[in-house]
């Protein structure tokens, strides 16, 4: 099975090693450009060669991402990238497998594969570009669009309630859950770094601006002057304080998390972030805001370690081989009742 060669000379990789010759064809001004640049810029840091890296994507604007990475790539069908990636990562655990998907791809048509990849803890890193709209099909509301969204398919406003993607991932038992913003290169790269280091499924929601069909959806967080007031940056082990130290997330009535002014808050009730703790904290933090138009948490919400699916599968094969001995076809066929017919052609 091909994979990274042990004892190989350390090669110095650059962004160029991960950049394919394909012309990038997203709309000018799309948030995807920043994401692509950040990912290509980050990959060399991992020290994993392009030959051992696989990007798998689904359908939608995000789906084109694979073509721009000079690694192995599989641009699949709508919603199925987590399933294809499960096959890749389980068949060959030596590979580093990334899934690039969008809110429609991951949460609508592919919702089932997403939750089951998370449940199994397949060793894949999922980057979900959330722009709260269907872009490639020219602007219908998505499963993360706000209620009342007016689009081509909802001229009178959408009546659907949106998903909270992180809440969904946590509910599915995700071992790594994070959120970042497309235009914050530094924060984005730090989240990628932690996701890449996580053994198992890493789920990263990226707020991504679609400047054609849903421009400004995340301005409260992306715009510098607003973001400074609204980004609640989670740091493991630190009290959750934001808005230049003036506001915090504290434990309110019935254990509910709420946003309050620091100078009106007992320091003991300010929440201290804990990525390894109970999922209920991460879940509550994911729901501090109703939508990214108000103070919203970004960063790593949860990181816990659990056996990966691929390791469990291969351990079972190894254990069965140890217990039963390597399989022999002749032995298998002859096990049980057999009879022999002699040369004269009659049975026993």
Which residue ranges make up the site for another protein (CB under 8 A)? 1-4, 20, 22, 49-54, 56-57, 59, 66-67, 69-77, 80, 83-92, 94-95, 112-113, 116, 313-314, 316-317, 320-321, 323-327, 329-330, 332-334, 336-343, 345-348
Nearer of residues 235 and 315 to another protein, judged by Cβ: 315
Nearer of residues 81 and 298 to another protein, judged by Cβ: 81
Nearer of residues 104 and 162 to another protein, judged by Cβ: 104
Strands (E), 91-246: 96-102, 124-130, 176-181, 202-207, 231-233, 241-242
Smallest gap from Cβ 28 to another protein, in A, equals 20
CB count, 10 Å around CB of 120?
22
Q: With CA atoms as reference, report the closest residue to 230 among 216, 247, 215.
A: 247
Name the token pair of 87: 């096959």
Smallest gap from Cβ 245 to another protein, in A, equals 45
Smallest gap from Cβ 144 to another protein, in A, equals 22
Smallest gap from Cβ 277 to another protein, in A, equals 28
Angle between helices 111-120 and 81-91 (to 10 degrees): 30
Q: With CA atoms as reference, report the closest residue to 217 among 125, 129, 110, 100.
A: 129
Smallest gap from Cβ 121 to another protein, in A, equals 14
Name the token pair of 11: 């090669």
Nearer of residues 95 and 221 to another protein, judged by Cβ: 95
Measure CA of the first residue to CA of the last residue in the chain; give whole Å: 46
Nearer of residues 67 and 187 to another protein, judged by Cβ: 67
Q: Give 312's contacts (C-beta < 8 A, 6+ positions apart).
A: none
Smallest gap from Cβ 13 to another protein, in A, equals 13
Strands (E), 14-134: 53-57, 72-75, 96-102, 124-130
Nearer of residues 54 and 202 to another protein, judged by Cβ: 54
Interior/surface letters 19-55, b for 16+ CB within 10 angstroms, e for the rest: beeeeeebeeebbbebbbebbbbbbbebebbbebbbb
Nearer of residues 126 and 286 to another protein, judged by Cβ: 126
Taking a C-beta distance cutoff of 8 angstroms, is the pair 203, 168 a contact?
no
Q: Using CA of residue 143, residue 148, residue 152, residue 153, what is the dihedral sign?
A: positive
Nearer of residues 109 and 293 to another protein, judged by Cβ: 109
Smallest gap from Cβ 31 to another protein, in A, equals 22
Smallest gap from Cβ 54 to another protein, in A, equals 5
Taking a C-beta distance cutoff of 8 angstroms, is the pair 230, 295 a contact?
yes
Nearer of residues 80 and 125 to another protein, judged by Cβ: 80
Q: Using CA of residue 222, residue 33, residue 302, residue 283, what is the dihedral sign?
A: positive
Smallest gap from Cβ 47 to another protein, in A, equals 15
């Amino acid at each position: 099975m091909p994979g990274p060669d042990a004892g190989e000379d350390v090669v110095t990789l650059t962004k160029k090693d991960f950049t394919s010759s394909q012309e990038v064809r997203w709309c000018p001004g799309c948030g995807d450009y920043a994401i692509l640049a950040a990912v290509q810029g980050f990959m060399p840091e991992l020290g994993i060669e392009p030959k051992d890296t696989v990007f798998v994507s689904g359908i939608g604007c995000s789906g084109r991402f694979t073509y721009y990475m000079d690694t192995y790539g599989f641009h699949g069908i709508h919603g199925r990238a987590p399933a294809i990636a499960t096959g890749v990562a389980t068949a060959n655990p030596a590979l580093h497998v990334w899934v690039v998907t969008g809110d429609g791809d991951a949460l609508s048509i592919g919702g089932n594969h997403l939750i089951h990849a998370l449940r199994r803890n397949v060793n894949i890193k999922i980057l979900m570009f959330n722009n709260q709209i269907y872009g490639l099909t020219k602007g219908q509301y998505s499963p993360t669009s706000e209620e009342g969204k007016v689009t081509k398919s909802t001229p009178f406003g959408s009546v659907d309630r949106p998903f909270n993607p992180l809440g969904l991932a946590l509910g599915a038992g995700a071992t790594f859950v994070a959120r970042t913003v497309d235009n914050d290169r530094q924060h984005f790269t730090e989240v990628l770094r932690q996701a890449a280091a996580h053994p198992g499924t890493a789920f990263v929601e990226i707020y991504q601006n679609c400047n054609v069909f849903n421009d400004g959806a995340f301005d409260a967080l992306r715009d510098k002057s607003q973001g400074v007031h609204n980004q609640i940056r989670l740091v493991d082990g630190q009290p959750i304080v934001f808005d230049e130290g003036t506001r915090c997330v504290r434990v309110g009535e019935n254990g509910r998390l709420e946003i309050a002014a620091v100078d009106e808050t007992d320091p003991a009730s300010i929440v201290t972030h804990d990525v390894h703790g109970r999922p209920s904290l991460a879940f509550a933090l994911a729901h501090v805001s109703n939508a990214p138009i108000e103070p919203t948490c970004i960063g790593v919400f949860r990181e816990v370690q659990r056996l990966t699916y691929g390791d469990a599968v291969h351990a079972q094969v190894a254990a069965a081989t140890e217990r039963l001995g390597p399989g022999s076809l002749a032995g298998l066929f002859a096990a049980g009742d057999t009879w022999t017919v002699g040369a004269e052609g009659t049975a026993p």
